[in-house]
Amino acid sequence: MKDIETIRAKQAFIIDMDGVIYHGNRLLKGAQEFVEWLGKNDKAYLFLTNSSERSPLELSQKLERLGILVDPEHFYTSALATASFLASQRPGGSVYVIGEPGLIQALYDAGFTMNNVNPDYVVVGEGRGYSLEALERAVHLITGGARLIGTNPDRTGPVEGGIIPACGSLVAPIELATGVKAYFVGKPNPLMMRHGLRRLNTNRENTAIIGDRMDTDIVAGVESEIETVLVLSGVTRLDDIPSFPYQPRHILEGIFEIPE
């Protein structure tokens, strides 16, 4: 199910990264050609990723190492969306963070301070710093009144060798231990989609979202009434699709099918 010309006719694109553009440090087929096609055809585009580990500058540098030049302004992460949301809720608040520098920096830039004693929020993202000690601290702080925030609900993420646990899986033990449900800011939360549309300065009718996950990318597009394009180069397999109550508008083998 695909209509390539309908996809190509869109003036703006919201694009996932992991499983669409690359797996870990391996560029996927057609990624460079797709980005070149966007530029040559004056398309507005934003890489909207649920990953919270890297800043837009670091993501830009990663693509450059893989051979694709994209300015940092074309990236928006769940870390930035989380920081923006918390700043709107509690300006100048404090947080205890389990995550990488991209998330910590976004929160600093939004006016938050780090606090491992009595923070307003416990914020969890992906990262190698997740440990039993950090888990125990998070549980203690939440039972003491801190609110639990997850940067995104993804349970797994694609890498070169398969899949790895992502934010949703890391938050789950904290939820189980405290009985508190996390609030997730990343896709499919409509907040992040609205942030993306505003940054593109466009509307939903002129936009398509391209992603590899039915449970985040595609449902986000469906709920936001944006044209949905599922690529089978990441997490979702073709035989997974019928089990979902919503369906993508287009299904592609990979991003390589879009450039002319």
In a domain, residue 113? The reply is yes
Same domain, yes or no, for 179 and 233? no
Same domain, yes or no, for 155 and 197? no
Same domain, yes or no, for 175 and 83? yes
Q: Are 47 and 15 in contact (CB under 8 A)?
A: yes
pLDDT exceeds cutoff 80 at 104: yes
- Decide which of 137, 161, 184 is a domain's last residue: 184
Q: Report pLDDT for 33.
A: 97
- The first and second tokens of residue 23, run together, are 């797996």
**Residue 97 and residue 140: Cα distance in Å, rounded?**
13
- The first and second tokens of residue 17, run together, are 């990264």
In a domain, residue 73? The reply is no
The CATH number of whichever domain residue 207 belongs to comes to 3.40.50.1000
For the chain, the average pLDDT equals 94
pLDDT exceeds cutoff 90 at 165: no
Q: Report pLDDT for 1.
A: 60
CA distances from 212 to 37, 184, 218, 231, 237 (A): 20, 19, 8, 5, 9
In a domain, residue 229? The reply is yes
* pTM, 2 dp: 0.91
pLDDT exceeds cutoff 70 at 250: yes
- The first and second tokens of residue 105, run together, are 């920096």
Could you list the residue range(s) of the whole structural domain that residue 227 is in? 4-50+187-257
- C-alpha torsion 64→35→81→99, nearest 10: -40
Same domain, yes or no, for 202 and 224? yes
As annotated, the active-site residues are 16, 18
Domain count of the chain? 2
pLDDT exceeds cutoff 70 at 48: yes
